[in-house]
Amino acid sequence: MVIMAEPLTTASFEVEAWEPGRRQVPQLFILSAGAVLITTAVAKVWSALGNSKFLEVVDPIVGIKFGHLMLAVGLAELVTALVCFFSKRQTLALALVAWISTNFVGYRLGLWWLDWHRPCSCLGNLTDALHISPQVANNFMKAVLGYLLVGSYGLLAWKWLQERRTGTAGNMLDPAPNP
């Protein structure tokens, strides 16, 4: 639905009528994904730089200490979040969110396969600071993971279908056109 209206004018400023369009939904998702990823990145890096005995335990999937794994994953989340916030390339941002979410699902499936029953330490020590039980945080992060996974793949599929329908197959390295 497009709202058709003339620009509102006053003596001091001009306000354009808001036109909901195809670019707002992906952009809102990308910004929300960036906010989620920057939050979890800061939590992981902060925790990885701490002195918990847990950080010395070797991860059963990757085979490196949890501290090193949390630092690496936190940095990957940070880079993805920065792309979400500052890149004009929606397809690139969505692809990175889909990529990192797919990795998280693969990691969780690997833990399930190994019969690992400890809650995910996705938020590091942040759960202690916020007085949230690890199980509640684990369940919340599963929901967030679902949001990131379904949202990124859904919007990538939607963009692909739109490009096929209009015949404007784009290149993910090209900046998005202005609305």
**Is position 169 within any domain?**
no
Q: Structural domain of residue 115, as residue ranges?
A: 28-162
pLDDT at 171: 58
pLDDT at 173: 46
**Is position 110 within any domain?**
yes
**Is position 55 within any domain?**
yes
Number of domains in the chain: 1
pLDDT at 21: 58
Residues in the chain: 179
pLDDT at 68: 94
Where the chain has pLDDT below 70, the residues are 1-23, 119-129, 169-179
**Is position 167 within any domain?**
no
**Is position 120 within any domain?**
yes
Rounded Cα distance, 152 and 146, in Å: 10
pLDDT at 53: 85
**Is position 133 within any domain?**
yes
State how beta strands 14-15 and 8-9 pair: antiparallel
Report which DSSP code applies to 23: T
* pLDDT tens, residue by residue, 104-136: 999 999 989 998 877 666 666 666 667 778 788
**Is position 13 within any domain?**
no
- DSSP assignments along 106-173, one per residue: HHHHHHHHTT--SPP-TTTTHHHHTT--HHHHHHHHHHHHHHHHHHHHHHHHHHHHHHHHHT----TT
**Is position 174 within any domain?**
no
